[in-house]
Structure 1
Amino acid sequence: MNMSHAPHNHHKDMTMSPPITGSHGDHENPDTGHGDMMMQMTFYFGYKNVELLFAGLVINTPGEMAGACIGVFLLAVFYEGLKIGREVLLRRNQVNVRYNSMPVPGADGTILMETHKTVGQRMVSVAHLLQTVLHIIQVVVSYFLMLVFMTYNGYLCIAVAAGAGVGYFLFSWKKAVVVDITEHCH
């Protein structure tokens, strides 16, 4: 099997220069004879030869770009929902909640009762294992979204931002406000 100078042929003709739209384009590496994708380093709006996360996932038509934007948008919405969902699960699965009250002398000589809430969760538990798996998924999705943004494709960047905004709007409005009973105003 001779692979020394086989051209890379999954993109447009290599003799053409990249279009002004800022799409990626192939350039032949003189050392290997293989085509290499040039990484775009500035924001652009294009839909030709846009490589999305995986080598075989290349966008070349407006329809493919629209589909990719919808997918990225939904992934960003899912990410925001996952963050809030993990918080809700954590609050539901808290175990060993204890309230400790102790007398504290007040400024004017009176005795005040100060209450501390102690929350604990066991390391080896189904709830903690589920949180760990969800955390891994959250980290992977967040890096995928970051890598999508790093394509510098304006359409995909807008899809990430819009999905994050819609996801936050949909899931964060019921987010509980935590009031720390140990916090005092001075």
Structure 2
Amino acid sequence: MDHSGMDHSGDSMDMGTGACQISMLWNWTVQDACFLTSGWHIRSVGDYVGTLIGVFFLVVALEGVRRLGREYDQSIRAAYYRREALALAALAKNQGREVAQAAPFRPSHKEHAIRSVFYFVQYSVAFLLMLLGMYFNGGVLLAIFAGGGVGHFIFARDTATDSSTAYEQQKDECCC
């Protein structure tokens, strides 16, 4: 079947300055590159630099959300064990003898829903970053890698602490 007579103008992603150049091979395309949609059409070096800065800070923000999720987990776990310790101490005082240890921690439905929102944001942003990386644009990949490194430097210091005392050591620490 011959399709040469068909109008393919709807297939073009021409946005006025040139058609979108999409490549899944290593490239350094700056002008007329498109990412994710035809609406994310790079028309100038300024657009490209803005994209690189935005991608960089998106990765840094992802690391910040990961940190917030870890801190939330630590805070609900610490609050649970504080409540359990007080309840067990009161029970032991009333009974005049030592009682069993606190039950293992399990987040409430509300706490788990909040944890799931953190996970949703992390997963969604990470997936979009993976899709951006699949364009194999050198600048975008370098922005992703640099953002990951800087984000880890700013937000992941808590991962090197002793997990049994991490919350107590960090409750007054901001993000470094």
TM over 0.5: yes
**In structure 2, what is the equivalent of residue 34 of structure 1?**
none
Q: Going by fraction, where is strand more abundant, 1 or 2?
A: 1
**In structure 2, what is the equivalent of residue 149 of structure 1?**
133
Displacement of 1:54? 2.0
**In structure 2, what is the equivalent of residue 170 of structure 1?**
154
Matching residue's letter, 2:65: L
Return closer, same or farther for 1:13/1:147 CA change in 2, 3 Å cut-off.
closer
**In structure 1, what is the equivalent of residue 73 of structure 2?**
90
**In structure 1, what is the equivalent of residue 169 of structure 2?**
none
Displacement of 1:147? 0.8
Return closer, same or farther for 1:117/1:154 CA change in 2, 3 Å cut-off.
farther
Q: Deviation digits for residues 12-64 of structure 1, max 9, x if unmatched?
A: 667xxxxxxxxx64xxxxxxxxxxxxx52321112122111222111121111
Runs of 5+ consecutive residues of structure 2 not aligned to the other structure: 1-5, 86-100, 166-176
Identity %: 23
Return closer, same or farther for 1:13/1:47 CA change in 2, 3 Å cut-off.
closer
Greater C-alpha Rg: 1
**Runs of 4+, deviation exceeding 6 Å:** none
**Take 1:64 and 1:13, find their aligned partners in 2: how far apart are those partners?**
14
**Take 1:74 and 1:164, find their aligned partners in 2: how far apart are those partners?**
9
3-state DSSP of counterpart to 2:151: helix
**How many residues were matched structurally?**
139
**In structure 1, what is the equivalent of residue 116 of structure 2?**
132
**Take 2:125 and 2:56, find their aligned partners in 1: how far apart are those partners?**
12
CA contact 2:31–2:42 (8 Å) conserved in 1: yes
Displacement of 1:168? 0.3
**In structure 2, what is the equivalent of residue 50 of structure 1?**
33
Q: Deviation digits for residues 101-157 of structure 1, max 9, x if unmatched?
A: xxxxxxxxxxxxxx89822212x22x2221111211111100011111111100000
Matching residue's letter, 1:5: D
Q: Deviation digits for residues 74-99 of structure 1, max 9, x if unmatched?
A: 00000111111100001101264368
